[in-house]
Amino acid sequence: GRTVGILGGGQLARMLALAGLPLGVRAVVLEPDAQAPARFCAEHLHAPYTDAAGLDRLAACDAVTLEFENVPVEALAALQGRVPVRPGGHVLHLSKHRAREKAALREAGARTAPFVPLEAPGDLAGALAAVGGEGLLKTSELGYDGKGQARVRSDADLHAAWAELGGVPCILEGLVPFVRELSLAVARSSRGEVAFGGLIENVHRNGVLRASTFVPGRAANEAAARDIARRVAEAWGLEGLLTLEFFELADGTLLVNEVAPRVHNSGHLTQDGGNVSQFEAQLRAVLDLPLVDFAPTLPSGMVNVLGWPDGQEPDWDAVLRAPGARLHLYGKAHRAGRKVGHVNVTAPDAAILAERMAHVEGLIP
Ligand code: ATP
Ligand code: MG
Ligand code: MG
């Protein structure tokens, strides 16, 4: 029996812990929130991420992984040299900061949107023109689900948006005329063994992932996506799992939008699509167990369930009756807009998957 330590006890930690159970892997989560979603399926160290006793317990695990990129440097320093932390400090340093991440992606040979780092007011002059006249201003750190972002169409917009975001370090990205958004997870062990998930197609609404789909054999540019993911994993010395988000242009070119050093919301459909899930893949990679590709074998989809305004709760019985649907709830309060669960959908072919997804989307407003 092995034990994995997880920094963070949210839904990703919960699903990592669940994936460990059949393998005899026990999870220990360090998480300050008493109501954290992982608390029922893992040993819950209810303490701040920098708590010395909590970090000692994690250091006694076989390996430590994480469910969010903003791990305090103090926590990493306290674990350093005592237990493998996967992904390691170098990957986290890059992936928690958009400007560093984009520069490192380009160094690894990946393409990205045009961007300009904005650190001081003087950097704003000429930035919008440099990225093509229309763009997205994003805080370099701490943004997720489209928070900490503003669309800018003029220099006046840019100045106002930068002040609005607090004048903190940002990047200005050119607006990408993508035809699709895709994601791909890559797992790599400390021995350098590499495995891939499927190339998943994602649809966002208001900057938040709404739905994902994967149909085996359908993605035309899977080989290109894997090539980019392998380069990034090797250049960054990945141990563990990371997920690349891509913009696909009309000519098929893939730009990397951003990287998550962990399992990803789009990969939740791997729980029910047959094959090893992204969660099991992350555990295998961090514990140095054999890796296998973890693309679903079935046409698979996922619809996110966000917190609902009072009186607008989804009809769960209808969701539970929906053909091919599996409900996953995280045990979180339904604060409006918060990710509280998802519904996975599988089907025998792409056409039936599309019908079933439309049905489930209709049940999840
Ligand atoms: P998360 O971490 O939850 O995926 P995030 O807050 O880090 O989100 P991004 O992934 O950078 O945000 O952006 C959210 C969404 O906004 C993207 O998935 C895409 O739909 C849109 N978007 C972001 N950057 C651009 C861009 N440069 N051009 C066009 N659309 C963009
Ligand atoms: Mg992000
Ligand atoms: Mg994103």
ipTM exceeding 0.95?
yes
Average of per-residue pLDDT values in the chain: 96
* Nearest C-alpha neighbor of 33 from the set 333, 267, 309, 334: 333
1 or 170: which leads in pLDDT: 170
Residue 202 has pLDDT above 90, yes or no: yes
Q: d(Cα 355, Cα 353) in Å, to the nearest integer?
A: 5
| Ligand with an atom nearest the CA of residue 181 | 1
61-119 pLDDT tens trace: 999 999 998 899 999 999 999 999 999 999 999 999 999 999 999 999 999 999 999 99
Q: Is the bond preceding 216 in cis, omega lying within 30 degrees of 0?
A: no
CATH fold, domain 2-85, is Rossmann fold (3.40.50)
264-279 pLDDT tens trace: 999 999 999 999 999 9
145 carries a ligand binding annotation: yes
- pTM higher than the cut 0.95: yes
pLDDT confidence tier of residue 220, bands split at 50, 70 and 90? confident
- Taking a C-beta distance cutoff of 8 angstroms, is the pair 227, 276 a contact? no
- CA dihedral of residues 165, 170, 172, 173 (deg, nearest 10): -110
Ligand 1, from 202, 209, 257: best to mutate by most atoms within 8 Å of Cβ? 257
Ligand 1 binding pocket, CB closer than 6 Å: 113, 136, 138, 143-147, 173, 175-176, 181, 204, 207, 245, 257-258
CATH fold, domain 114-174, is Dna Ligase; domain 1 (3.30.1490)
The residues spanned by each domain of the chain are: 2-85, 114-174, 180-363
- Kindly give the pairing relationship between strand 43-45 and strand 135-139: unpaired
The protein residue whose alpha carbon is closest to atom 19 in ligand 1 is 207
Q: Which CATH architecture has domain 180-363?
A: 2-Layer Sandwich (3.30)
Q: d(Cα 12, Cα 14) in Å, to the nearest integer?
A: 5
239 carries a ligand binding annotation: no
What integer is the mean pLDDT of 47-58? 97
Neighbours of ion ligand 2 (CB under 5 A): 258
Which pLDDT does position 146 carry in this prediction? 84
175 carries a ligand binding annotation: yes
